Structure 1
Amino acid sequence: MSMQKRMIVAVSVATVWTKPESPRPLDESALKHPVEIREWLRRMTIDDKLDLWEGNRIQTQILYGTSVLVAEELEDWIKVLIPQQGTRKEALGYPGWVPRCQLVIEPEAPAGLKRAEVITAQAWLYRNPSERSIELSYLTSLPVLDETEQWVKVKTPEGAGYLKANEVRLSDGSLIPEPGEGHIGCGIVEQGRRFLDLPYLWGGMSSFGYDCSGFAYSMHRYFGISIPRDASDQAKQGMLIAKEQLEPGDLLFFAYEEGKGAIHHVGIYAGDNRMIHSPESIKSIEIMDLSSYKLAKEHCVSRRYWG
């Protein structure tokens, strides 16, 4: 099958599974159209969440309206490649399996349309200004058809919809750093603070739950900065930063064997020897003092993408 065939995500958050057999019966809410992301998260125990990692069930997630490449089709499942999520696993984009019902053929869109990007933690998409449709994640991006003072009419995978104008920002669709005064690294930290106490989710790439590298990826993306999807890849790019030169917004990487083994975690330096990160399945996004961090001896490298 041609790798050029494209489809588009038609649910608020599509979870990308390692293989079609990866989901468990308790994951049914995450496999539907429309997806029931909050219900899925609510039902999972800590052990259920840990099993997403231990069982190698989930690879990543994709937001509503994201275009993906089709690599393979298998009955009710489609193997996709996600160009927006860079990885050494596949040159064309992050790979994994998505239920067919959560994807549609990518509709034609006129060239040159602005895009509306959600800048609140979540935002409702409306069928019309009085009828809610889908709850969308932070950084969901859709083509703009029209705009008024209160509403932005957008093109969705399933027709026209509306977003509240004060919950989105408009752009030409390119990844351009957020304009304005100030230190972008500090801005990355401030965006991260908005999600304090959000529970960790292995593979999470939405404001319903992030994993460590998904959190770092998304806070950078707000400023138009594209970084690799996984911590192990993030640690190999960007500008190498010495410990004494750390500034807010820099990424701190942690590896097994007291920093000599495989990289397994990333956090965002928050200044004053603190870090903001999405730590692990039993915890939530937090700011913590690096001097008391249990993995402090595993810090192996720091990188800067914003400078």
Structure 2
Amino acid sequence: MTVLNNLWRCAVPVATVWTSPASARDIDVAGTGNPVNLVKWLEALQYKERLDLCEENRVQTQLLYGEEVIVDEIIKDWAKIVAIHQPSAKDQRGYPGWVPLTQLIESNGSESNKFAIITADKVQLWTEDEMPLLVLPFNTILPLRDESLKYYHVDTPNGKAYLSKNGVEITSSRATGNPTTMEQAVIKGTAFLDLPYFWGGMSSYGYDCSGFTYNMAKASGIIIPRDAGEQKEAGQAIDKGNPDEWRIGDLLFFANDFGRAPVRHVGFYFGGGKMIHSPQTGKTVEIIHLSGTKFEEELCGVSRYQAELG
């Protein structure tokens, strides 16, 4: 069956976008169903299985609950999608890939000019009867319908539901948090220190390097490209040879062959000669001194982004 330009929404807390329907392995079953069991899935993935996601090019990116996608095609139990809020050179409409059909639901066309964005690591979503429904990760954005003393009333793929107000803010954008500064993006990033790296990761269950920078920027009011190489090109170029010109929140880019190869990594400048980043499989989000590391030799660019304030 072929579907053209249909708007759907992610129906699970985190949906992984796979390179093809054949990319998901038997060990990934807990991460491809609905309900999705992210903790069980991630706990089952040892270093070898996590590295395989990257080396075999199995995973492209991830979606958060309620995130909008265009469904181009449905083949059996899989949907070929484009994540419209994740800019990519792979498709001018957004980031492409494949998602299990059970993890998507057709959009109900809900209109709102205010949205609730999760600013804590994770927040409980409740039914209207105040029964626990789902646990939602950082940066999940849902249309706001109303509010009470205790809850924000939101429109979700499961219908009307309640979000605990603690750890949630209201934004006017369906794609980002309230505009602030990239320095604030760095501060937000410190909340995820020691979080294990996850290839293609776009949630507070695990980020890859560019997923980390993308999401902290998104939380701070600005959408940047999803992938590191495109993040470098889309920002304002800053002299990489003059660290005195760098600002906290600038993006630092790295490449093999002493910075001459294509971009392979990105992190935030933390100030004082330090970087905060999500390094690689087997490691966790960390703050490091650049001096004396391989990153000092591999620096290939510095880019700056600014949210539109006011």
TM-score bucket (shorter structure): over 0.9
Of all paired residues, the percent bearing the same amino acid is 41
Q: Which residue of 2 aligns with 1:237?
A: 234
Q: Is the 8 Å Cα contact of residues 129 and 162 (structure 1) preserved in structure 2?
A: no
**2 and 21 in structure 1: CA distance in 2 versus 1, 3 angstrom threshold:** closer
Shift of 1:148: 1.3
**176 and 104 in structure 1: CA distance in 2 versus 1, 3 angstrom threshold:** closer
Q: Which residue of 2 aligns with 1:146?
A: 146
Q: Which residue of 1 aligns with 2:222?
A: 225
Measure the CA separation in 2 of the matches of 1:179 and 1:95.
27
Q: Is the 8 Å Cα contact of residues 212 and 277 (structure 2) preserved in structure 1?
A: yes
TM-score (norm 2): 0.94
Bigger Cα displacement from structure 2, 122-131 vs 54-63: 122-131
- Which aligned pairs between 1:263-278 and structure 2 lie closer than 5 A? 263-278=263-278
- Which aligned pairs between 1:1-307 and structure 2 lie closer than 5 A? 1=2, 3-109=4-110, 111-128=111-128, 130-173=130-173, 178=178, 184-243=181-240, 244=242, 245-306=245-306
Deviation string 1:16-52 (CA, Å, 9 cap, x unpaired) is 0000000111000011101111111111101111000
Measure the CA separation in 2 of the matches of 1:232 and 1:160.
39
**5+ residue gaps, structure 1:** none
Q: Is the 8 Å Cα contact of residues 16 and 98 (structure 1) preserved in structure 2?
A: yes
**5+ residue gaps, structure 2:** none
Measure the CA separation in 1 of the matches of 2:49 and 2:231.
27
Deviation string 1:52-90 (CA, Å, 9 cap, x unpaired) is 001110000000001100121100000000110001111
**55 and 175 in structure 1: CA distance in 2 versus 1, 3 angstrom threshold:** closer
Shift of 1:232: 1.0
Measure the CA separation in 2 of the matches of 1:24 and 1:37.
15
Q: Is the 8 Å Cα contact of residues 249 and 306 (structure 1) preserved in structure 2?
A: no
Partner amino acid for 1:283?
K
2:5 counterpart SS class: coil
Measure the CA separation in 1 of the matches of 2:295 and 2:248.
19
Shift of 1:179: 5.6
Measure the CA separation in 2 of the matches of 1:240 and 1:96.
30
Runs of 4+ in 1 over 4 A off after TM superposition: 174-177
Bigger Cα displacement from structure 2, 25-34 vs 290-299: 290-299
**42 and 256 in structure 1: CA distance in 2 versus 1, 3 angstrom threshold:** same
Partner amino acid for 1:67?
E
